[in-house]
């Protein structure tokens, strides 16, 4: 079976006037931004934000991966405990096993701490070993550019760490250069 998008592409090429270049028949990038993340209160930990572009179909929360809740037939970030599977609590937009939720937000921690998630784990729900814990806000001074031990902006590692909007803009420019 031919993929439906391949048929659309073939039809657009075959119907195109001979003077059109191949690049004029290539689909343009979506205007939908890469990485549409579910917003979290600014005073909360900003790690592990839920990407709203990747929401699987579901019938119940127990079917959702990435510790999400089933809302309206789609896996999505939770907002309240009742949206999570049995014996789970909603913590920072994720459903955690209740015994692993040592905090639910910054309000449950000391003034110099944030409630953070430990990360996804294997399994259907991706929350088997995930924990929420208060973590002390501490660390060294911010590294100055001249202290970066020879790492430059041209380094492949640095280039890989770009803002989603910047990445989308780069992709658009690259397509336009074709």
> In the chain, how many domains are there?
1
Q: Please write the tens of the pLDDT for every residue from 8-28.
A: 222 323 333 333 333 333 334
Residues spanned by the domain of 74: 61-136
Task: Establish if 119 belongs to a structural domain.
Answer: yes
pLDDT band at 98 (very low <50, low <70, confident <90, very high): very high
Task: Establish if 77 belongs to a structural domain.
Answer: yes
Within 8 A by CB and 6+ apart from 169, the residues are: none
Q: Please write the tens of the pLDDT for every residue from 36-54.
A: 889 999 999 999 999 998 8
Task: Establish if 82 belongs to a structural domain.
Answer: yes
Task: Establish if 36 belongs to a structural domain.
Answer: no
Task: Establish if 101 belongs to a structural domain.
Answer: yes
Task: Establish if 5 belongs to a structural domain.
Answer: no
- pTM, two decimal places: 0.59
Does pLDDT of 156 surpass 70? no
Task: Establish if 1 belongs to a structural domain.
Answer: no
Average pLDDT, the chain: 75
Alpha helices in the chain (DSSP H): 4-14, 156-160, 164-176
């Amino acid at each position: 079976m031919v993929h439906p998008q391949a048929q659309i592409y073939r039809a657009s090429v075959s119907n195109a006037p001979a003077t059109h270049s191949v690049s004029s028949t290539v689909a343009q990038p979506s205007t939908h931004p890469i990485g549409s993340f579910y917003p979290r209160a600014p005073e909360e930990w900003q790690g592990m934000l839920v990407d709203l572009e990747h929401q699987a179909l579901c019938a119940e929360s127990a079917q959702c991966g990435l510790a999400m809740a089933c809302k309206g037939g789609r896996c999505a970030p939770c907002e309240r405990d009742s949206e999570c599977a049995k014996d789970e609590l909603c913590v920072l937009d994720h459903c955690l096993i209740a015994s692993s939720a040592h905090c639910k937000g910054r309000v449950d921690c000391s003034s110099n701490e944030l409630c953070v998630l430990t990360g996804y784990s294997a399994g259907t729900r991706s929350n088997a070993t995930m924990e929420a814990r208060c973590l002390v806000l501490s660390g060294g001074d911010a590294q100055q550019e001249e202290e970066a031990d020879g790492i430059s902006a041209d380094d492949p590692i640095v280039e890989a760490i770009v803002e989603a909007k910047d990445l989308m803009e780069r992709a658009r420019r690259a397509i336009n250069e074709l």
